[in-house]
Amino acid sequence: MSEQHAPFITLGRHLKYVREQAKESLAEVAGSVEIDEAALQRIEAGQERPAEDILLLLINHFGVQDHEAVQLWELADYDKDAPDQIRPDIEVPSGQKPVVMLIGLDLRTMYSDGLDIAVTPGGLTLSFTQSTGPSKSTAIARVGMGYEQAEAMLVAFQQALLQAKYLRGPKALPPPTDDAT
């Protein structure tokens, strides 16, 4: 398929631009989002549209801002494939676009070696990071929460750490002593 006729060329070029701005190779990004390097190359060439979960992983991997994430989603044109029966019956005022909320669910466990915490009037945002070089780290997950939830989470962490420290191994009865005779 020639590059001029690739159906998702704008999406692919944008993803390639984001990757190049992050100074990451195809292999690094493909490994991070767990797809084949050749598949990522086809996506960047506009020859293939990424699956919805892969696009969400790429957006998360690069830490793409919300407005740019929505633009990438629109370029992928997933909405045209959605059956009419699952589209909400919401009337959108003329001249306005409907609000779209994307929630990606990734059940893989991501291990981090760093944490950045941003404090806002509404709560905290935890950015779990992973070192990618001598002085560079990449956000691998972000979690936002209110102050009450953060305090409850702190208590849960403390309890889990105490259990891990003091409740290791199976509990057993103490060995018999010679005093029993």
pLDDT for 34 equals 85
Residue 176 located in a structural domain: no
Boundaries of domain holding 69: 1-81+100-105
Burial class (CB in 10 A: 0-12, 13-18, 19+), 137: middle
Strands 136-145 and 123-133: antiparallel
Residue 136 located in a structural domain: yes
**11 & 64 share domain:** yes
Least confident of 4-18, 100-114, 119-133: 100-114
CA–CA gap between residue 53 and residue 64 (Å, rounded)? 15
**77 & 113 share domain:** no
Q: How many folded domains does the chain comprise?
A: 2
Residue 15 located in a structural domain: yes
Arithmetic mean of pLDDT, 92-113: 70
Phi/psi of residue 157, nearest 5 degrees: -60, -45
pLDDT for 16 equals 93
Mean pLDDT for the chain overall: 80
**Position 109: which residue type?**
T
**1 & 39 share domain:** yes
Predicted TM-score (pTM) of the model is 0.46
Angle between helical axes of 66-76 and 52-62 (0-180°, round to 10)? 150
**65 & 120 share domain:** no
pLDDT for 81 equals 53
**54 & 130 share domain:** no
Residue 177 located in a structural domain: no
